[in-house]
């Protein structure tokens, strides 16, 4: 009986093995190799040798003599020259479509990557949100020589995402503290910090030539353009990057092989007509601009500057006095209420007197203190006990007991905050009044602007916003996400290693999206970079055209508004034919500097070499080693609303349609998308690794960003939002549409 039971049990055991014949004996146990620590298989030899994780001394028995070792398998053959490496099984599934497994890359490729990393000398510009993650990733990836340039110091608001910094580091140099933090976990790396502006003359073309690659983590367009031009002049590859919220991108720029950073037009901040801001606001951002740039500047900034806020009484005696000035011996509470009644009550009533303005618009409601607050609330002051400590930053919210910055205040609460913040400025910060400039990190200034904007919004029937939301609008902030910074930093290092290896065929521009852009649910979208744009005035030296009234426009205006602002030159030199009419920079003789200063205030037609229709200007910046030509076209009149500069810079055109190949299918890709809806465009775009499609061709709508219909360099009709240390992204102004456009 026992024997039969055992046999049945063995039968079941053998049947469960499946791959062996039922009833066959179990395979012999793996034998130990005492000398080499290896085990061997049964007589079939179908499995490789299996290493054991314990020492021979742990065996309670004596091992038999080792069997003969099996020969090692031969290494796989090298990959074909144009093939892609196999997908990493641990990577995101959205990176690439499923493909047949390819043989592993030979070890020689890995060795060359390691050698390239160790030998590289890297310049990193920016040590903020991306920079902290990038420096950490560089250190952990084996880079041994890194130089960092950053002008900023650490602020409290940086600590929630810049993890190399701590509370004790506030006020110190970002570059230096980042170096010290990394040396704690990788002491053998050489990091050279520079607490300086990358636009300083120290960081010239010769300085850039010493580096193998430049990695950008900047937060403004001007510095990006400057670094791009220095990299072009020094012929050093540039890996550009940026993040905004959940969105981010990494682009590779190599002279002669890929487009430069300026081959595509860049958006500029949205400007609003003064009449919209002062008289007919229709969006909350209009109210923020009014509160920040007009009211705050008038009350606490330089009062000698022109300001469109003043609306005087019709009474002759009162019109001679600035209503914003505090009267002699005037009570502070009375002064605050008088300003409130003037800007939210009297000014609105004055605007309502123009009936033509409100024929097709909603009429605003004047608001006075007596309407917003009951009598007892008007006389009530904030709780002053919170401000007994003079070192504590004054806050109207704290004084009034409003603790939640994400709560939307009522009209009464906004009115109380306005009056309290107004008084706190005069009580606690009176010495600063007259020199104050709005700062998003100034708590009291943000409270005042939020309250003022909400009161004005209430008057015009615009939805109110919380302090948290208003701060984002006032500071052009899209709040940063640390995870996005980390993802982008990793992609930067991946592309940097490709650049160091000279792996040009595998360069990729990678985009991180908040939502999947295609039916394949891709959140990380790698696309192949474009070749240089032949119409780019930076890397292709294409002539530009400037429409200007040469009889009324001064040379100073052309230099400030066009050459420095739009073309991004720091120390320009301007020549008319062979005549030098202006030069900026150090080393000028006193008489030369005086002559150039005199030329600045002359109109173009009256310069020593007159600038008239069809005149050709040659503009050069020796620091950037950039030179371009500007053809002058005479134009007598300009639209003050659409062309406030009184001149139009033209001549930049988008890249022509390009023929691409994806999986054997050829088709044309336009430089900007059609007028189709962005969602349908995203579905049609089957972007695969190696396919030459850009994010703007998938996510861009022509109605918001049409390169072909705009001649002004860097022009755009969309609003720009920017976080405090990362990149620029453009959103549609209509929040209901939620369309995202090209990341720059």
Q: Where are the beta strands (DSSP E) in 142-189?
A: 145-149
Q: What pLDDT score was predicted for residue 737? A: 36
Catalytic residues: 275
Q: What pLDDT score was predicted for residue 345? A: 93
Highest mean pLDDT among 21-25, 648-652, 696-700: 648-652
Q: What pLDDT score was predicted for residue 382? A: 55
Q: What pLDDT score was predicted for residue 268? A: 62
Give the integer Cα–Cα distance in Å for 421 and 403.
15
Q: What is the pTM of this model?
A: 0.61
pLDDT in tens, 259-300: 999 888 776 666 677 778 888 898 999 999 999 989 999 999
Least confident of 110-124, 125-139, 259-273, 478-492: 259-273
**DSSP annotation string for 103-145:** PPPPHHHHHHHHHHHHH--EEEE--SHHHHHHHHHHHHTT--E
| Angle of CA points 723, 729, 734, to nearest 5° | 105
Q: Is 249 a residue whose pLDDT tops 90?
A: yes
Q: What pLDDT score was predicted for residue 324? A: 85
Is residue 337 very low, low, confident or very high in pLDDT (cuts 50, 70, 90)?
very high
Nearest to 120 by CA among 136, 150, 135, 142: 142
Is residue 353 very low, low, confident or very high in pLDDT (cuts 50, 70, 90)?
confident
Contacts 24+ apart (CB under 8 A), 401-405: 405/466, 405/467, 405/468, 405/471
Is residue 73 very low, low, confident or very high in pLDDT (cuts 50, 70, 90)?
low
Question: In the chain, what are the domains?
Answer: 108-262+481-527 (3.40.50.720), 274-474 (1.10.10.520), 544-650 (3.10.290.20)
Bridge partners of 547, per DSSP, are: 633, 648
Name which residue leads in pLDDT, 453 or 641.
453
Tokens 């904030």 sit on residue:
382
Tokens 């640390």 sit on residue:
482
Give the integer Cα–Cα distance in Å for 211 and 188.
20
Burial of 204 (0-12, 13-18, 19+ CB in 10 A): middle
Using a pLDDT cut of 90, give the percent of the chain over it.
36
Here the tokens at position 363 are 């009429």
Mean of pLDDT values over 252-259 = 93
Mean pLDDT of the chain: 74
Name which residue leads in pLDDT, 118 or 69.
118
Burial of 631 (0-12, 13-18, 19+ CB in 10 A): middle
Structural contact between residues 685 and 677, judged by C-beta atoms closer than 8 angstroms: no
Is residue 239 very low, low, confident or very high in pLDDT (cuts 50, 70, 90)?
very high
pLDDT in tens, 422-458: 999 999 998 898 889 998 889 999 999 999 999 999 9
Q: Is 88 a residue whose pLDDT tops 50?
A: no
Is residue 377 very low, low, confident or very high in pLDDT (cuts 50, 70, 90)?
low
Q: Is 399 a residue whose pLDDT tops 60?
A: yes
pLDDT in tens, 156-214: 878 989 999 999 998 899 999 999 999 999 999 999 999 999 999 899 999 999 999 99
Q: Is 712 a residue whose pLDDT tops 90?
A: no
Using a pLDDT cut of 70, give the percent of the chain over it.
67
Name which residue leads in pLDDT, 659 or 114.
114
pLDDT in tens, 217-234: 998 888 999 999 999 999
């Amino acid at each position: 009986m026992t024997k039969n039971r055992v046999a049945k049990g063995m039968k079941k055991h053998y049947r469960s093995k499946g791959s062996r014949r039922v009833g066959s004996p179990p395979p012999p146990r793996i034998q130990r190799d005492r000398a080499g620590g290896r085990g061997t298989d049964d007589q079939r030899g179908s499995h490789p040798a299996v290493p054991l994780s314990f020492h021979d001394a742990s065996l309670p028995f004596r091992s038999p003599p080792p069997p003969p070792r099996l020969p090692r398998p031969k290494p796989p053959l090298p990959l074909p020259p144009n093939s892609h490496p196999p997908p990493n099984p641990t990577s995101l599934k959205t990176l690439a479509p499923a493909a047949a497994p390819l043989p592993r890359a030979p070890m020689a490729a890995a060795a060359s990557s390691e050698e390239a990393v160790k030998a590289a000398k890297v310049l990193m510009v920016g040590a903020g949100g991306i920079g902290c993650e990038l420096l950490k990733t560089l250190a952990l990836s084996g880079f041994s020589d890194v130089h960092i340039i950053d002008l900023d110091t650490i602020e409290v608001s940086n600590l929630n995402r810049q993890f190399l910094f701590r509370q004790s580091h506030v006020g110190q140099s970002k570059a230096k503290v980042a170096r010290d933090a990394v040396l704690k976990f990788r002491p053998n790396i050489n990091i050279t910090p520079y607490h300086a502006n990358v636009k300083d003359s120290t960081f010239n073309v010769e300085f850039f030539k010493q580096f193998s690659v430049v990695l950008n983590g900047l937060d403004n367009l001007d510095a990006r353009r400057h670094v791009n031009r220095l990299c072009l002049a020094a012929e050093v590859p540039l890996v550009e990057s940026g993040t905004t919220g959940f969105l981010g991108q990494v682009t590779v720029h190599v002279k002669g092989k890929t487009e430069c950073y300026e081959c595509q037009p860049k958006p500029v901040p949205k400007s609003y007509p003064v009449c919209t801001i002062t008289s007919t606001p229709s969006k909350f951002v209009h109210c923020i601009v009014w509160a920040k740039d007009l009211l705050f500047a008038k009350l606490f900034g330089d009062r000698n500057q022109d300001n469109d806020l003043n609306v005087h009484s019709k009474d002759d005696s009162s019109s001679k006095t600035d209503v914003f000035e505090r009267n002699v011996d005037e009570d502070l509470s009375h002064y605050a209420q008088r300003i409130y009644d003037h800007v939210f009550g009297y000014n609105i009533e004055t605007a309502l007197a123009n009936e033509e303005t409100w024929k097709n618009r909603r009429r605003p409601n004047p608001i006075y203190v007596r309407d917003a607050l009951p009598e007892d609330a008007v006389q009530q002051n904030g709780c002053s006990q919170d401000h007994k400590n003079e070192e504590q930053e004054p806050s109207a919210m704290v004084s009034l007991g409003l603790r939640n910055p994400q709560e939307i205040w009522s009209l009464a609460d906004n009115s109380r905050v306005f009056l309290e913040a107004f008084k706190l400025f005069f009580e606690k910060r009176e010495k600063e009044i007259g020199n104050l400039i709005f700062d998003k990190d100034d708590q009291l200034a943000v409270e005042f602007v939020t309250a003022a904007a909400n009161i004005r919004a209430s008057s015009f029937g615009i939805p109110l916003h919380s302090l948290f939301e208003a701060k984002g609008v006032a500071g052009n902030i899209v709040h940063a996400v640390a995870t996005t910074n980390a993802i982008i930093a990793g992609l930067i290092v991946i592309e940097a290693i490709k650049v160091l290896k000279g792996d040009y065929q595998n360069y990729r521009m990678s985009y991180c999206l908040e939502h999947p852009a295609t039916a394949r649910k891709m959140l990380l979208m790698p696309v192949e970079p474009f070749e240089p744009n032949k119409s780019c005035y930076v890397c292709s030296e294409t002539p530009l055209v400037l429409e200007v009234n040469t009889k009324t426009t001064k040379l100073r205006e052309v230099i400030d508004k066009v050459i420095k602002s739009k073309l991004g030159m720091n120390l320009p030199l301007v020549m008319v034919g062979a005549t030098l009419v202006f030069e900026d920079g150090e080393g000028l003789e006193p008489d030369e500097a005086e002559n150039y200063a005199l030329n600045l205030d002359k109109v173009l037609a009256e310069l020593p070499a007159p600038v008239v229709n069809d005149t050709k200007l040659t503009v050069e910046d020796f620091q950037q080693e950039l030179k371009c030509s500007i053809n002058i076209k005479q134009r007598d009149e300009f639209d003050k609303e659409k062309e406030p500069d009184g001149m139009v810079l033209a001549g930049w055109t988008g890249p022509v349609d390009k023929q691409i190949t994806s999986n054997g299918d050829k088709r044309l890709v336009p430089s900007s998308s059609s007028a189709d809806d962005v969602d349908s465009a995203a579905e049609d775009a089957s972007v695969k690794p190696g396919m030459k499609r850009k994010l703007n061709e998938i996510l861009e709508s022509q109605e918001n960003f049409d390169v072909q219909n705009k001649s002004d360099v860097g022009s755009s009709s969309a609003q720009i939002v920017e976080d405090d240390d990362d990149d620029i992204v453009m959103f549609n102004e209509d929040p209901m549409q939620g369309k995202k456009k090209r990341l720059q």
